[in-house]
Amino acid sequence: MSKFYNHLSLDERRKIYFWREEKISVNEIAQRLGRHRSTIFREIQRNTFFCEEDKTLSGYTHLNAQEFYRRRRQKKQKVESVAGLKDFIIDKLQSDWSPEQIS
């Protein structure tokens, strides 16, 4: 039996940001969102921004977190990263091939 995972939404990231500003613990944030605490820990660790020039700009913000998430997802798109693959797929779709035949 496989598990089903949901990615954090911008709204959830916004809540994490505001609750972190209010000094609410990660365990409490996880409980409020109905998520496992390790999900929140990983989110904060993975998406914390560090600015060496101005330390006041460093930290977790929901907008930076969403942008980091978008960039990570974009890197994983095989169609865009493999040269010629997108053109091959478009050509075969125009030739009435099914997605199963293309794959």
Residue 33 pLDDT = 95
Give the pLDDT mean for 49-64.
Answer: 83
Structure tokens at 96: 């009435």
pLDDT at 2 over 60: no
pLDDT at 12 over 70: yes
Largest alpha-carbon pair distance within the chain? 58
Radius of gyration of the chain (CA): 19
- Model pLDDT for residues 60-72, shown as the tens digit of each residue: 999 999 999 988 8
Neighbours of 8 (CB within 10 A): 20
| Model confidence band, residue 73 (pLDDT cutoffs 50, 70, 90) | confident
pTM above 0.75, yes or no: no
CA distance 27 to 69: 22
In degrees and rounded to multiples of 5, residue 93 shows phi and psi of -65, -40
